[in-house]
Structure 1
Amino acid sequence: MRRFEDHGVLITAAARGIGAATAHRLTEEGAAVLLTDADGAAVDRTAAALREQGATAHALTCDVASRTDVHAAVDRAVGLFGRLDVLVNIAASCTPDAPRFEDEPDETWQHDLDITLNGAFRCARAALPHLEASGRGAIVSVGSVNGEVSFGNHAYSAAKAGLASLTRTLADHAGPRGVRVNLVEPGTVRTSAWAGREDRLEEVRRLYPLGRVGEPEDIAAAVAFLASRDASWITGTTLRVDGGLLGVNTVFRSPREP
């Protein structure tokens, strides 16, 4: 399928993991993409790898905590493609919790919210007029099951819950302007964040009814669906992509064997 032929797409946190997989999926389906990330060298390498495969892919260093960076990224995407059809918000920060909640520093709390929630707000605010102008605009953000159930990481979880709320309220505002806004809500995904903790990842795997953790490509496929015209009557929705984690209580039964 080439559902994104002649589409210009901006993706945040696209250097690796879910962002890189999403860029790969969308370019496979014909999109031209601007990959952004705070790690400029890494996002340059990811874009270069996509170009070697024949994709139209550009890279830009962007810190979503900076309004200047965000506006520069949106302007660059419109300048490159002549339009902006899809915004994919993936950038997030997850700082380990303090041992006691009362010891949580203001700085780490604010940082996680500023990247994870406020960053998506900044990107959507800057992109919305261009998405409206495209006539087929879509925003897809990546949330987390942490936004629904307690898995720790207080600030990150609060930010992801806020992102789900922002998705609904922005969908209400943007719908009459022809822009759809949706959220993908992953469970545990095998990314570089788990490097060195493979044993823990194996333990977590046994909690999933489908018997495995997610791969970045699982989330990329969901993003592609919600961004495409196949989802043209879907907005304000949270799509769980969690291997059944929140739907089935595995704690009260024997762990699934390999």
Structure 2
Amino acid sequence: MTDLKRFEGHGVLVTGAARGIGAAVARRLAEEGGRVLVTDRDLPEAEQAAAALREQGLAVRAFGCDVADRASVEAAVAHAVDVLGSLDVLVNSAASCTPDAALFEDGPDEAWARDLDVTLTGAYRCCRAALPHLVASGRGAVVSVGSVNALQDFGNHAYSAAKAGLGSLTRTLAGHAAARGVRANLVVPGTVRTSAWEGRDAALDALRPLYPLGRVGEPEDIAAAVAFLASRDAAWITGTTLHVDGGLTAVHTGFRTALRGVPATDAP
């Protein structure tokens, strides 16, 4: 729980918010006073997440939204404006990540299309539907959730390409919307302990030494960064990419470890 109240009177729509990072973002912005619409393709799970937050006295509602469907997105945005009174913040957290085929050339078109449609085009649909309302609010902000997969090869070809495209979308939207008073930024998480890693604690433990800060991320780490970029504390920040990755992309821990004990004259 935070004592900050940076979103008092703000209407907030979060996609992919039934679980994981999206759910943590919804909680954080609601704790800071926002009126939050939790949206997800899985409506029963979204309703369960929203109900849990309402039990804590937070202003949270749920609505079913499939970001792969334009009509569904437009309905969610219209509902947000109706029940929240305004739409001031859009957080694009919905994503699709299909496991890779054993060989690159065996990857099916359907998996590629699905990951791009949900992860990249879905964010585009949401931004397009929300932008007039974000302009009208006079303090509109878009924060999208990217991935370190956009920067290096960590597998998941289609998901990685979609997240890379999300960076470009963020910059072009920032350029277009700045004169209309709307900011657009991107957070780039590393490995985050979500339900996608359920039952894979050994894998998370194996990854921990690769992170200079000594641990994988938690959803709350990403939510804190999203809250900053969505708030007026970031009023002069737009078009930027904020790495929230424990130092993974800044420091090559494997390289540094390999050099330990090697005489300096032999080091590259």
Could you say which TM-score interval applies, normalised by the shorter chain? over 0.9
1:253 deviation in Å?
A: 3.3
1:141-175 CA-partner distances (Å, limit 9, x unpaired): 00000001111100000000000000000000000
The match for 2:71 is 68
The match for 2:107 is 104
The match for 1:132 is 135
The AA in structure 1 aligned to 2:101 is A
Q: Does 1:88 align with 2:83?
A: no
What SS class does the counterpart of residue 48 from structure 2 fall into?
A: helix
The 1-side partners of 2:22 and 2:105 are apart by: 34
Misfit runs of 4+, over 2 Å: none
Task: Decide which of 194, 202, 205 is 1:191's aligned counterpart.
Answer: 194
Q: RMSD value over aligned CA atoms?
A: 0.8
Mapping of 1:200-239 within 5 angstroms?
200-239=203-242
In the alignment of these two chains, the number of paired residues is 255
Structure 1: gaps (5+ residues): none
What SS class does the counterpart of residue 253 from structure 1 fall into?
A: helix
**If the length of structure 2 is used for normalisation, what is the TM-score?**
0.94
The 2-side partners of 1:137 and 1:247 are apart by: 31
What SS class does the counterpart of residue 6 from structure 1 fall into?
A: coil
The match for 1:149 is 152
What SS class does the counterpart of residue 251 from structure 1 fall into?
A: helix
1:244 deviation in Å?
A: 0.2
The 2-side partners of 1:37 and 1:165 are apart by: 24
The match for 1:116 is 119
The match for 2:263 is none
1:254 deviation in Å?
A: 3.3
The AA in structure 2 aligned to 1:96 is P
1:192 deviation in Å?
A: 0.4
The match for 2:257 is 254
The 2-side partners of 1:229 and 1:171 are apart by: 16
Task: Decide which of 22, 30, 34 is 2:33's aligned counterpart.
Answer: 30
The match for 1:178 is 181
Structure 2: gaps (5+ residues): 259-268
> Identity of counterpart residues, as a percentage?
71
The match for 2:264 is none
The match for 1:19 is 22
